[in-house]
């Protein structure tokens, strides 16, 4: 699909509803042929931004460009550049082929070509040969795959996905997240994917933007955005402690040693000695062992004696907040592991994590 896929840019976009500003985005770029995930809590403005960039709604002020050409929302030509998958699949009475071919018919594509595009799209979503099934007998997961096929069939310049999987039960949701991610990667369409779930964003997106109160508060490569929180609010939103600070004191073979004020952390990064950095490690990457016990060799370059500062249960897991001089980070453990290790506030333990799991960013020179 990729060739017609433009880079999409929003410039000084604001949206006001009844005098209240719900969107204020000086600049956002969706890279061509990549998936950009907009992540944030409910009410942050994600869907509004999706509608503006997707030319479904005209902003109160600002412009949207597709490959540098200004687009005007609202007219038919604009609408035909994009297609969308929403939370609910909105299937029409009739066959699967009627549904998948709907956008093609609106665009005046003749029958033979429509037939080809429909079967291509069905194959893409793993439902090859389903043309004649009745759309009203589909399961929730099948219906949403049909909705994706319908959106893909028109070969949109920009594919919009607004919480497409949030109505699914967890197991199906995970399977479809992986399937959708795989389709978006192989089709190389420019896609904007709205979700409130960071795990979903991590799987589908190349680039992640985090929104709060109508603004973009963090943006970048998905691993870095989700792994090295830009500020305290973002840290809390992605389930981490705020980034730590330190200074690089040694660097060799792609691994730096960072002095965090009493505790040294090794990180796989290429930053000059003397640089001030912020750094963080995802709780899932940290293992805890009994202090003084046999920690076992896990190939973990970091082995830090810590004190447990807080325990935060989160469903089946517990986020164990660990402290050592100058550092504070979370470790994600099962409830059983917390019990077996006898962890409580004030207990000591040994934290193990790989240098490769530590994200590092140089902070403002000087």
Cβ within 8 Å of residue 116, ≥6 positions away: none
Instruction: Label the pairing between strands 302-314 and 348-353.
Output: antiparallel
**CA distance linking residue 158 with residue 54, whole number of Å:** 7
10 touches ligand ADP by CB under 6 A: no
Figure out which of the listed residues 3, 19, 42, 137 binds ligand ADP, where binding follows CB under 6 A: 42
| The dihedral sign for the CA sequence 102, 100, 79, 4 | negative
- Stretch of 37-45, 220-228, 236-244, 286-294 contacting ligand ADP, by CB under 6 A: 37-45
The residue to which tokens 């369409």 are assigned: 189
Q: Give least dist CB 115 to ligand ADP, A.
A: 36
* Residue among 44 and 154 whose Cβ is closer to ligand ADP: 44
Among 17, 77, 310, 325, binds ligand ADP (CB under 6 A): 17
Residue closer to ligand ADP, measured from CB, 39 or 333: 39
The least distance separating ligand ADP from the CB of residue 94, rounded to whole angstroms, comes to 30
Interface characters, 45-64, with ligand ADP (x: CB under 6 A): xxxx----------------
First-last CA distance in the chain: 46
CA distance 201 to 208: 7
Which one, 22 or 264, has the nearer CB to ligand ADP? Answer: 22
Which residue in 31, 43, 140, 242 binds ligand ADP (CB under 6 A)? Answer: 43
Distances (CA, A) of 117 to 110, 164, 236, 286: 11, 22, 44, 47
Under 8 Å between Cβ of 239 and 69: no
Q: Strand 348-353 and strand 287-290: pairing?
A: antiparallel
Round to whole Å and give the CA distance between 259 and 250: 9
Q: Quote the crossing angle between the two packed helices 170-187 and 140-153, to the nearest 10°.
A: 20
With CB under 6 A as the contact rule, the residue among 10, 40, 239, 283 that binds ligand ADP is 40
In the complex with ligand ADP, the residue whose CB is nearer, 22 or 78, is: 22
Nearer to ligand ADP, 44 or 280 (CB): 44
- Region of 43-51, 176-184, 253-261, 296-304 interacting with ligand ADP (CB under 6 A): 43-51
Residue from the set 44, 158, 234, 321 that interacts with ligand ADP by CB under 6 A: 44
How far is residue 329's CA from residue 197's CA, in Å, rounded to a whole number? 21
The window from 40-48, 108-116, 153-161, 321-329 that contacts ligand ADP (CB under 6 A) reads 40-48
Q: How many residues bind ligand ADP (CB under 6 A)?
A: 10
Stretch 299-328 residues interacting with ligand ADP (CB under 6 A): none
What pairing do the DSSP bridges indicate for beta strands 358-362 and 276-281?
A: antiparallel
Question: Interface with ligand ADP by CB under 6 A: which residues?
Answer: 17, 22, 40, 42-48
């Amino acid at each position: 699909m990729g060739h017609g896929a433009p880079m999409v840019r929003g410039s000084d976009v604001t949206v006001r509803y009844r005098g209240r500003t719900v969107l204020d985005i000086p600049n956002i770029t969706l890279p061509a042929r990549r998936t950009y995930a907009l992540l944030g809590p409910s009410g942050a403005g994600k869907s509004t931004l999706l509608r503006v960039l997707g030319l479904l709604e005209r902003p109160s002020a600002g412009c949207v460009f597709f490959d540098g050409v200004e687009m005007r929302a609202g007219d038919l030509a604009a609408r035909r550049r994009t297609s969308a998958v929403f939370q609910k699949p909105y299937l029409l009475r009739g066959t699967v082929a009627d549904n998948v071919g709907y956008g093609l018919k609106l665009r005046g594509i003749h029958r033979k070509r429509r037939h080809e595009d429909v079967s291509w799209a069905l194959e893409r979503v793993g439902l090859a040969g389903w043309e004649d099934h009745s759309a009203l007998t589909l399961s929730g997961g099948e219906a949403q795959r049909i909705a994706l096929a319908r959106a893909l069939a028109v070969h949109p310049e920009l594919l919009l996905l607004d919480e497409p999987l949030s109505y699914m039960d967890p197991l199906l949701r995970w399977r479809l997240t992986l399937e959708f991610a795989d389709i978006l990667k192989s089709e190389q369409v420019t896609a904007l994917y709205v979700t409130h779930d960071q795990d979903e964003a991590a799987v589908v997106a190349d680039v992640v933007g985090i929104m709060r109160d109508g603004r973009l508060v963090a943006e970048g490569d998905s691993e870095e955005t989700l792994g090295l929180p830009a500020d305290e609010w973002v840290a809390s939103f992605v389930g981490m402690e705020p980034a730590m600070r330190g200074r690089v004191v040694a660097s060799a073979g792609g691994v730096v040693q960072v002095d965090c004020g009493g505790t040294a952390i090794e990180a796989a990064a290429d930053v000059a000695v003397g640089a001030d950095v912020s750094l963080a490690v995802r709780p899932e990457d940290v293992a805890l062992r009994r202090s003084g016990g046999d920690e076992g060799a896990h190939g973990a370059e970091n082995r830090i004696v810590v004190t447990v500062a807080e325990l935060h249960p989160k469903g089946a897991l517990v986020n164990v907040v660990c402290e050592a001089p100058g550092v504070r980070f979370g470790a994600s453990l099962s409830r059983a592991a917390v019990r077996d290790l006898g962890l409580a506030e004030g207990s000591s333990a040994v934290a193990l994590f790989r240098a490769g799991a530590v994200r590092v960013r140089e902070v403002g020179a000087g």
